Amino acid sequence: MVKKEDISIVLCGPAGQGIKTAEKIMVSIFKKAGYNVFATKEYMSRIRGGSNSTSIRVSSKPIRALVDRMDILIPLDSQALHHVESRITSETIIIGEKEKLVEKKQNHNYMIFDVSLTKLAKEAGGVIYANMVVVGIIAELLNLDRSLVYSYVEDIFSKKEKEIVSQNINAIDLGYKTSSELDLDLRINIQPKKTAKIKEQIMINGGEAVSMGAVAGGCNFIASYPMTPSTSVLTFLAQQGKRFNIVAEQAEDEIAAINMTLGAWYAGARGMVTTSGGGFALMTEGLSLAAMLETPLVIHLAQRPGPATGLPTRTEQGDLLFALHAGHGEFPRIIFTPGTLEDGFYLTQKAFNLADKFQIPVLILTDQYFIDSYYNIPAFDFSEIQNKKYMVKTNKDYQRYALTKNGISPRGIPGNGDGMVVVDSDEHDYDGHITENLAIRSKMVDKRWQKMNEMVQEALPPEIIGPQESETLVICWGSTVNMVKEALHHINQNKTALLYFKQVYPLPSQTLPILKRAKKLIIVENNATAQFAQILKTQFNLDIPAKILTYRGQTFSVEELEKKLRKVIL
């Protein structure tokens, strides 16, 4: 019996072959069995065909990052081995149809266990059930109770015909039988005391974390145009619309979406848009409109590689500077960059309160890797979540843009009081009427920027993970945090720590003192030009010579980062 604390399973095949369904089932049953689970996917921009893969880690310890290592690989077509060839080692167990996988002329030293998935699927009811055969194979390898697997499969297919449910169960049984004959006995060295706690945890992905954070923040309106990878947030909130009284509108385009959302805030709602780079480009005029109107706005920007359509289903941290400088004219904003599912939830919830308080746009930057990654976490704590609304009841002398000490004018909504709530896209006076008075123009610009003083005071400081007084700091933001954290754990240097930024603008005043304490700074980013390093250079005149970057459309793996960090740190 081979005992491991961490097993990496990879499924690879064309779109339309049920890999996503198999992933969903396996992730859920592993967690129900008491294992820690992490899963993520990479996929081509096509409805059918191509080569896609999903990576699932099962462990006795919490796991939250992608590894290159493949302990078990199940290729579902002849192209799969080529697609993940760089990740195959002599220890990778490959389960599939050997004749289809390896050409006779090739001399590959692969450890292939010959299993006719197509034949077994047809025996169960049709080739469509190949993914369920795979579920049975893996479940048996990890010694999962069949009743647990049956129960979950029956539940997710409960709305289907009984024959379809029965055929799925038959396919799983064939997988169990086949797997037991392979003489492969893998076990995870799990600690029984932790099993109950894991079973009580929730299993969500990044898109769901942001969506749930929006609900917790009081979001009751979303308007967006579908765009990968941001669409999952629109879909989730639409599905939960009746339950939480959320109006969800699939607009005709991104321009309409952002203007609808501004209208919702003007009327007293809490709205958001969710989009990706190309869609955000269309929203930039609306972003400037929000700034001029001083109307709150929450934008979820799920990044993907550009320019233009780029790699529409891949991942990158390429829109940071775009998010910071988008819009014509100068105006304040807040940019959150969650890297953990917990931060995806809590920062999104916080975004609605800050947008409401400061009457500004608040942007939440994620990316495809973050949106599509699952792992188990403790349930969110709602006990300390508070939503404060900052709207006032207007009187007859109400001035929408009255000057105040902190730059935040009282925000009224139509019908809530006796005052007239006037807003306009042109520069305006204190009442909201159009003006070309140059003195008032200067006062309005100063008023809008005056908010920054308080925004900086409330900015979230970077999180130090590791020794608080470290000679070396590895800087990251957003979705790279978990890979960096695990890589540094492997390196095990007691003089090195991770500095994780979950808010990149505005930066709090304690940022520079933290950075200056270190003798060596290293920055990790998923873009070509080290965009956050540029922000640190601009704001603090701070150079970071050691940069670890990737921009191939995939994020870092733990092994890749560990190798690159060792070269710089040791």
Task: For residue range 478-496, list pLDDT tens digits in order.
Answer: 999 999 999 999 999 899 9
Asked if 238 and 373 sit in the same domain, the reply is yes
In a domain, 246, yes or no: yes
Helices 117-124 and 130-141: angle between axes, nearest 10 degrees: 110
Average pLDDT of 159-180? 93
User: Range with the lowest mean pLDDT among 156-160, 361-365, 396-400, 424-428?
Assistant: 156-160
Average pLDDT of 8-37? 92
Asked which of 433, 458, 483 is the last residue of a domain, the reply is 458
CA distances from residue 344 to 18, 169, 298, 349 in whole angstroms, order as listed? 28, 36, 14, 9
Asked which of 343, 377, 411 is the last residue of a domain, the reply is 377
Q: What is the CATH number of the domain that holds 483?
A: 3.40.50.920
- Its domain, for residue 154, covers 2-200
Q: Are 533 and 477 in contact (CB under 8 A)?
A: no
Q: What is the CATH number of the domain that holds 45?
A: 3.40.920.10
Of the CA atoms within 13 Å of residue 256, those in its CB half-sphere come to: 9
Q: What is the CATH number of the domain that holds 290?
A: 3.40.50.970
Which residue is listed with tokens 């009746």? Answer: 242
Structure tokens, 223? 């308007």
Asked if 192 and 169 sit in the same domain, the reply is yes
Which residues lie closer than 8 Å to 248 by C-beta, 6 or more apart?
221, 222, 223, 234, 237, 238, 241
Asked if 247 and 334 sit in the same domain, the reply is yes
Asked if 441 and 469 sit in the same domain, the reply is no
pLDDT value at residue 343: 98
Residue 380 predicted with pLDDT over 60? yes
| Phi, then psi, of 116 in degrees rounded to 5 | -85, 90
CA distances from residue 247 to 217, 269, 302, 348, 388 in whole angstroms, order as listed? 15, 10, 21, 18, 20
The per-residue pLDDT of the chain, averaged, comes to 94
Asked if 212 and 274 sit in the same domain, the reply is yes
Percent of the chain predicted with pLDDT > 70 = 97
Grade residue 18 by pLDDT with cuts at 50, 70 and 90. confident
Asked which of 458, 473, 497 is the last residue of a domain, the reply is 458
Separation CA 531–CA 324 (nearest Å): 10
Dump pLDDT digits (tens) for 91-109.
999 999 988 787 644 557 7
In a domain, 383, yes or no: no
In a domain, 385, yes or no: no
Residues in the chain: 570
In a domain, 411, yes or no: yes
Asked if 221 and 152 sit in the same domain, the reply is no
pLDDT value at residue 189: 67
Average pLDDT of 322-336? 98
Asked if 183 and 258 sit in the same domain, the reply is no
* Neighbouring C-beta atoms of residue 50, cutoff 10 Å: 16
- The DSSP result for 140-171, as a single string, is HHTT--HHHHHHHHHHHTTTS-HHHHHHHHHH
Which residue is listed with tokens 């038959």? Answer: 170
Dump pLDDT digits (tens) for 200-228.
999 999 999 999 999 999 999 999 999 99
Asked if 326 and 256 sit in the same domain, the reply is yes
In a domain, 384, yes or no: no
Separation CA 529–CA 391 (nearest Å): 41
In a domain, 382, yes or no: no
Average pLDDT of 364-382? 96
The number of distinct structural domains making up the chain is: 4
Q: Please report which helix (H) or strand (E) contains residue 512, including its range.
A: helix 511-517
In a domain, 291, yes or no: yes
Asked if 320 and 196 sit in the same domain, the reply is no
| Phi, then psi, of 222 in degrees rounded to 5 | -140, 135
pLDDT value at residue 113: 92
Beta bridge partners of 508: none
Asked if 245 and 269 sit in the same domain, the reply is yes
Grade residue 88 by pLDDT with cuts at 50, 70 and 90. very high
Residue 307 predicted with pLDDT over 60? yes
pLDDT value at residue 98: 87
pLDDT value at residue 190: 60
Asked if 158 and 233 sit in the same domain, the reply is no
* Alpha carbon distance, N-terminus to C-terminus of the chain: 37
Q: In terms of Cα–Cα distance, which of 228, 284, 219, 292 is closest to 257? A: 284
Asked if 154 and 261 sit in the same domain, the reply is no
Average pLDDT of 167-181? 94
Phi-psi sector, 55: left (phi>0), alpha (psi -120 to 50), beta: beta
In a domain, 386, yes or no: no
